[in-house]
Amino acid sequence: MEILKNNIERLCSFYVSDWHLVTMLLPYINKQINEKANVVTLLENDIEENIKTLVKKLNLKNEKQILDIDWKKTNGIKYSEFKNKMKEIKKEEVLNLIFINGNKNYIDMTNKNIEKFLKDNLKKYKEVNIKIIDCYEVSEFNVNMQEILHSHDKILNTSGEKEICDLFEGYA
């Protein structure tokens, strides 16, 4: 996303099950909502029931806001359907978190749609701050992990945002 590079930060994450993903995301999202972030989801896998179950067991300050997020599977990744979902991005001075989960192909196609949407609406979204968090389902991808790491600025795990080099020794 060359045009908007200054306003977009890219994180990656890896999960082994939907429960692992939800356990990792909830504390991070709770913290980000405290800081007034806006959350948009583009999900290949529906995680709504997992979110509801875990939120009930935790005492989160932002329970209502978390449950109000659309945790259902995004229907298709066709650009025409995708544009409606992107209308959830706020233009105010807030951080927009875009969570994408699924296999590498779904994540790649969704990121291409985001790039196209932002380029098509450059004037409207030029000053918007966006953090894209690509959550890769480990059992689904058989690609070089280095390629994924190189295309992201940081990594998100159960302890929060981390520099990639802090988690992978020898990574440059």
Q: What is the pLDDT of residues 31-79, one digit of tens each?
A: 999 999 999 999 998 999 999 999 989 888 899 999 999 999 987 667 7
Q: Evaluate whether 100 touches 135 at the Cβ level (below 8 Å).
A: yes
Q: Evaluate whether 132 touches 7 at the Cβ level (below 8 Å).
A: no
Calculate mean pLDDT across residues 123-145: 82
State the pTM of this model.
0.90
Q: Evaluate whether 124 touches 92 at the Cβ level (below 8 Å).
A: no
Calculate mean pLDDT across residues 125-153: 84
Identify the band that residue 121 occupies on the pLDDT scale cut at 50, 70 and 90: confident
Mean pLDDT of the chain: 86
Go through the domains of the chain in sequence order and give each one's CATH number.
12-167 (3.40.50)
CA angle 73, 77, 83 (to 5 degrees): 100
Q: How far apart are CA 77 and CA 73, in angstroms?
A: 11
Q: How far apart are CA 51 and CA 28, in angstroms?
A: 13
Q: How far apart are CA 114 and CA 126, in angstroms?
A: 13
Q: How far apart are CA 126 and CA 137, in angstroms?
A: 31
Identify the band that residue 146 occupies on the pLDDT scale cut at 50, 70 and 90: confident
pLDDT score for 4: 55
pLDDT score for 128: 85
For the cut 90, the answer to whether the pLDDT of residue 140 exceeds it is no
- Stronger pLDDT, 118 or 84, i.e. the higher one: 118
Q: Hey, is 164 helix, strand or coil?
A: helix
Q: By 3-state DSSP, what share of the chain in percent is helix, strand and coil, each rounded to 5?
A: 45, 25, 30
For the cut 80, the answer to whether the pLDDT of residue 165 exceeds it is yes
pLDDT score for 1: 45
For the ranges 25-29, 52-56, 112-116, 120-124, the lowest mean pLDDT is seen at 120-124
